[in-house]
Structure formats: C-alpha cells, structure tokens
Structure 1
C-alpha cells in the first residue's frame, strides 16, 4: 500500500483542476433577457448547449414552445424576451 503522502498531491491536483474549470465555465451573455433565460433554461441546459445552436427568432420560438411542452416554466411576460434574447445572442450568423 502506498503511503498517504504519495497520494495527496495527486488528489489535490485533481480537486484543484476541477475548481478552476468551474470558474471559467461559460455563462449566458449579459443583456436584456439574461435573467429570464437563466431562470427558464439553465435548470436543464448549460450555456454551452445553447451556444452551439444558431436559429432565427421563429425557430427559437419553436424551441421555447417545445421546452414549455416539456415542463419549462416561462411566463407570458418572459416569452418574447427569451425568444429575442436567444435570437440576438445565438442567432443565425452569430
């Protein structure tokens, strides 16, 4: 069995690397609608998943409708704000 002192540096490196990765994790871009997207979308989707999509506003509306159908909580007041935010930040040509 290896002495504990030989295992501790490896364990510290693994744990420390994980903390740094969280600090640099992508977030939703700042701007009108960020809070609504964070509340409605981020419970299930990390920003990296959303960032990989490039849709126009009509397609984002379809996606939001699908997510509402799957249980996403989006108020009527936030619906247009979320669609506009997604199209502005993750639209075609971005």
Structure 2
C-alpha cells in the first residue's frame, strides 16, 4: 500500500527539531502539527515525496484551502528536502 511507503515515520529526522524560519512555516505548524510532531515534520524528503504526502493527508481529511496547500507544499519542497552535496572535487571551488 502506498501509505506505508509514505509514512512520515520512515526516514530519519533533519538535524534539530526546528523548522526553518521562512514564509510558510507558520502554516505548516498550524496545519500539520494538529496530528504530527515537529520532529516528524522536520524530516527531509524530495519535493515529489512532499507533494504525495500532503496530497495524501488532504485525502485523509486534513482541512486546508488550495492556497494553504500550495503554501505548505512550497515550504516543505523548498526547505525540507535533502541537502545537496557538491560533486567530488568541486567543494570549495
């Protein structure tokens, strides 16, 4: 089942428990922390994964407007994705 693969508990959390202070943070806290801990929300996922997860949460009854959905998705896809590592030999150049 897709839900098992997208469970918010399957990946290690990001360093620290704080979400980055950026536009959309408060909406994520208000909408998502009703059911999920900040530690769970602070996990790093790809933008595609976040899109599937947020869509799944709406399908399971999360209440939000289309604008709130987009704000949450933009925030998570921008700030809560895996850090990009420079290719070998390119760091510091």
Task: Indicate the TM-score class for this superposition, using the shorter chain for normalisation.
Answer: 0.5 to 0.7
Distance 2:23 2:70 in 1: 11
2:70 matched to which residue of 1? Answer: 80
Shift of 1:76: 0.4
Structure with greater helix percent: 1
SS of the equivalent of 1:37 reads: helix
Name stretches of at least 5 consecutive residues in structure 2 with no aligned partner.
1-15, 85-93
Q: Would you say how many aligned residue pairs link Structure 1 and Structure 2?
A: 69
Q: TM-score, length-normalised on structure 2?
A: 0.64
CA RMSD of aligned residues (A): 1.9
Distance 2:40 2:46 in 1: 16
Name stretches of at least 5 consecutive residues in structure 1 with no aligned partner.
1-24
Q: TM-score, length-normalised on structure 1?
A: 0.63
Distance 2:63 2:50 in 1: 16
1:34 aligns with 2:8: no
2:3 matched to which residue of 1? Answer: none
